[in-house]
Amino acid sequence: MHRSLRSLPLAALAALLALPLAGRAAGEISDGVVRIGVLTDMTGFYSDLAGPGSVLAVKMAVEDFGGKVLGHPVEVIAADHQNKPDIASSIARRWFDEEKVDAVVDLVNSGTALAVMPLAAAKGRVALLSGPGTTAITGAKCAATTVHYTYDNWALANGTGREVVRDGGTSWFFITADYVFGRSLEEDTAKVVTASGGKVLGEVRHPQSSADFSSYLLQAQASGAKVIGLANAGADTINAIKQAREFGITPAQKLAGLLVFISDVHSLGLDTAKGLYLTTAFYWDLNDRTRTWSRRFQADARNGKHAMPTMVQAGLYSAVTHYLEAIRATGTDAAEPVMARMRATPIDDFFGKGSIGPDGLFRHDMYLVQVKSPSESKGPWDYYRIVKRIPADQAFPSVEAQACPLAVKH
């Protein structure tokens, strides 16, 4: 103890120690700045569905919030994880330790997400995931400071798999991306198919970023399955759909895109994608609120491709807004109280209406849609016909089904 403190009367010393430390007053922000790091695929096969558009969505959320929270600036930085878990964890560690990043967002890849989540939890930082799909994120691998926001594989499998079986697609063959996301999506969909009265005739796995799907498609064709389930995403899904049409596999066999984005449909064109069923968390033309925000996003000068937002990008805007609102409400950017506030506060915005469970999963409505034909489309980006709204309690697994170890405490 400092000598001058030793000379103080005990009551005075106790009163002094009870005072807040400098910089720890109400409205506490750890270093005077709230930093949000967008860790995404900036140049690879997920860059159109996330990438620069994800960065733009986060910046729009911050700007619409006023650029500050509790009087302190909010900064946005971004990096390319190249879809590699080791690169993602290395960037995140540097961000947390050296650049004082408070929240890492997007992680548009299940492998990179699972690598960063435990690191964020250990460092007391928030992870807002919009792009990954594996159910392990809010299941066996759940972390106390993670929110899985936009969709998960269970929602995709139940939305598309169940409805396609009901529509007569009773036999399936899977073409699956050979990493944690693809295998999880195949497994979840196969369970739905069999539970709905269908059967799975086989599967084949392919590496990420495959250019040639001919051998995989020929195996699917030879199986005689009514439906070829594409348990992949991004450029892999686009290439598989294009080549299935080129080889004459469709329309003799149906394609079920288990994770398809509006950016994929735009790349394919309606003549190639028409009739495809898919499940989505967001569509720009769903209502007045979605149209208003999406047109702002499309018209923003930083949107180089003038594209409409994907569900990943729209989800990020909503998630970051909810995060900043929690900081404002709690008076701190510390992860534990912010996460508690995010879980306790219902969400109702242009993206959706719902709540975050104790497992970290945001449960909201999902939509089964079918891609329009060129003759049905009334203009650019008019791509989807809404087949069915899937209520939140049917769209996502229950907390109990997820079996998140952390949820047992709630």
- For the stretch 361-404, pLDDT in tens is 999 999 999 999 999 999 999 999 999 999 999 999 999 999 99
Domain count of the chain? Answer: 2
> 80: Cβ–Cβ under 8 A, 6 or more apart, which residues?
40, 41, 42, 43, 44
Weakest mean pLDDT among 7-16, 135-144, 263-272, 292-301: 7-16
Tell whether 190 and 52 lie within a shared domain. Answer: no
Q: What is the mean pLDDT of residues 265-270?
A: 96
Judged against a pLDDT cut of 50, whether residue 14 lies above it is answered with: no
Secondary structure element (H or E) that encloses residue 279, with its range: strand 277-280
**How far separated are the first and last CA of the chain, in Å rounded?**
41
pLDDT of 408 reads 66
Tell whether 144 and 51 lie within a shared domain. Answer: yes
Tell whether 260 and 376 lie within a shared domain. Answer: yes
Q: What is the mean pLDDT of residues 161-177?
A: 95
Judged against a pLDDT cut of 60, whether residue 3 lies above it is answered with: no
pLDDT of 11 reads 37
Judged against a pLDDT cut of 90, whether residue 13 lies above it is answered with: no
* Residues 57 and 313 sit within 8 Å (Cβ to Cβ): yes
* Domain containing residue 325: CATH number: 3.40.50.2300
* Residues 344 and 247 sit within 8 Å (Cβ to Cβ): no
The answer, yes or no, to whether the previous bond of 397 is cis (omega within 30 of 0) is no
Between 45 and 198, the more confident residue is 198
**Of all residues in the chain, what percent carry a pLDDT higher than 90?**
90
**Strands, DSSP E only, in 330-408?**
347-348, 353-356, 362-364, 366-371, 384-390
Tell whether 374 and 356 lie within a shared domain. Answer: no
**In 3-34, which positions are buried (b, 16+ CB within 10 angstroms) versus exposed (e)?**
eeeeeeeeeeeeeeeeeeeeeeeeebbbeeeb
Using 50, 70 and 90 to split pLDDT, how confident is the model at 19?
very low
Tell whether 292 and 345 lie within a shared domain. Answer: yes
Q: Quote the tokens at residue 38.
A: 């967008």
Q: What is the mean pLDDT of residues 172-200?
A: 96
Q: Quote the tokens at residue 288.
A: 């007045």
Count CB atoms within 10 A of the CB of residue 344: 11
Using 50, 70 and 90 to split pLDDT, how confident is the model at 409?
low
Between 107 and 20, the more confident residue is 107
Tell whether 102 and 145 lie within a shared domain. Answer: yes
pLDDT of 22 reads 32
Find the domain containing 334 and state its range: 34-151+288-364
pLDDT of 163 reads 87
pLDDT tens digits for range 206-246: 998 899 999 999 999 999 999 999 999 999 999 999 999 99
Residue 18 placed within a domain = no
Residue 151: CA atoms inside 13 Å, Cβ hemisphere, count? Answer: 32
pLDDT of 40 reads 98
Judged against a pLDDT cut of 90, whether residue 151 lies above it is answered with: yes
pLDDT of 7 reads 38
> 318: Cβ–Cβ under 8 A, 6 or more apart, which residues?
61, 149, 347, 349, 350, 351, 352
Using 50, 70 and 90 to split pLDDT, how confident is the model at 24?
very low
pLDDT tens digits for range 52-95: 999 999 999 999 999 999 999 999 999 999 999 999 999 999 99
- For the whole model, what pTM was predicted? 0.90
Angular region, 224: left φ>0, alpha ψ -120 to 50, beta rest:
left
Tell whether 212 and 181 lie within a shared domain. Answer: yes
pLDDT of 28 reads 87
DSSP string, 167-179: TT--EEEEEEESS
Tell whether 385 and 306 lie within a shared domain. Answer: no
Spatial distance between the Cα atoms of 357 and 148, rounded to a whole number of angstroms = 10
Tell whether 347 and 270 lie within a shared domain. Answer: no
Residue 190 placed within a domain = yes
Tell whether 172 and 145 lie within a shared domain. Answer: no
Tell whether 204 and 69 lie within a shared domain. Answer: no
**Residue 175 Cα distances to 64, 74, 157, 227, 240, angstroms:** 41, 43, 14, 11, 9
Residue 4 placed within a domain = no
Spatial distance between the Cα atoms of 226 and 200, rounded to a whole number of angstroms = 10
Q: What is the mean pLDDT of residues 23-44?
A: 82
Residue 52 placed within a domain = yes
Tell whether 132 and 192 lie within a shared domain. Answer: no
